[in-house]
Homo-oligomer: A and B are copies of this chain.
Amino acid sequence: MPEEKNKIGFIGAGKLAGRLMTAFSHAGFKIKQVISRGGDNGRELARLYRSSYSNRLSELNPDIDFLVIAVPDSVIHDVVDKMPGIEGVTVHTSGAVSIDVFKGLARRYGVFYPLQTFSDSREVDFSNIPVFIEASDEKSLSLIRDISGEISKKIYEINSERRALLHLSAVFANNFTNHLLAVSSDIVKQTGLQKEVLYELVKETINKSFEMEPADSQTGPAIRGDDLTIKKHLNLLSFSDELSQLYICLTRSIQNYHSKIKADN
């Protein structure tokens, strides 16, 4: 008889929950229950994955082996506090919230943090997404590791302190980078060109930064101390105090960062 797969439940029905249901379902797991306050999204996901649906935490199915809480960080504590206890392992999916949010409120628990940005409209290949895990005890860790290992090839065990730093680094690598790309796309549009003209440059920037140390390949007027070009750029940005400030702040940061490296050597 083939081993029966663990039954998975979800609290939350947002982008991450949807992507995880796809990945777990492809890996052969049964999505047993979806609980969400929102209504439509949760009902639709439950229909899609032939799972039961409820909008009440009190109706949590006690048979669930692995319960994934995929709700906004600020709500996690409240959810954990209000949900009934289960025999299975409960995990949250946040980079920034400590595992201690479960303390005294759940018996077996942990963290399952996939380091990726999720959208409704974009498929992602989960097998390459690194997942950072942590658990209340060895047995729970082993379950989390086994289940995670069925959807991703890259499982790392790290504690909450290291995960918080990792999450911070992701804010720089994803949120802040995305903002710079939004700004540069706006500026390109002022030239009448499409932002696609930047694609090869950005792709090469990224590839380079992972093949060598990005600090070693820093170029541009800031690190050159090319005040003339910096002045020209600030002139071009004079239509927006906001963007001028951003330009100055990044230019200063590059200069301070690299003068510090020099001073340290």
Q: Chain A: residues with CB nearer than 8 A to chain B? A: 72-74, 96, 115-117, 119, 121-122, 124, 128-130, 154, 156, 158, 162-166, 168-188, 190-193, 195-206, 208-215, 217-224, 226, 228-229, 232-233, 236-237, 242, 245-247, 249-250, 253-254, 256-257, 260
Inter-chain contact B181/A177, CB cutoff 8 Å? yes
Inter-chain contact B209/A178, CB cutoff 8 Å? yes
Specify which of B154, B169, B199 is in contact with A210 (CB 8 Å cutoff).
B199
CB nearest to A209 among chain B residues: B181
Inter-chain contact A175/B254, CB cutoff 8 Å? yes
Contact A201 B249, CB 8 Å, known A165-B190, A232-B96? no
**Chain B residue contacts of A154, Cβ below 8 A:** 197
Contact A201 B162, CB 8 Å, known A175-B220, A178-B218, A229-B96? no
Chain A interface main SS type:
helix
Contact A202 B173, CB 8 Å, known A115-B197, A197-B166, A233-B168? yes
A202 to chain B, nearest CB (A): 5
Inter-chain contact B175/A177, CB cutoff 8 Å? no
A101 to chain B, nearest CB (A): 12
Given A177-B181, A179-B222: 6 more A-B contacts, CB < 8 Å: A96-B229, A168-B233, A169-B187, A180-B180, A202-B210, A245-B249
**Chain B residue contacts of A129, Cβ below 8 A:** 200
Inter-chain contact B183/A210, CB cutoff 8 Å? no
Inter-chain contact A179/B115, CB cutoff 8 Å? no
Inter-chain contact B203/A206, CB cutoff 8 Å? yes
**Chain B residue contacts of A221, Cβ below 8 A:** 96, 171, 175
Of listed A163, A213, A250, residue having the most chain B CB within 10 A = A250
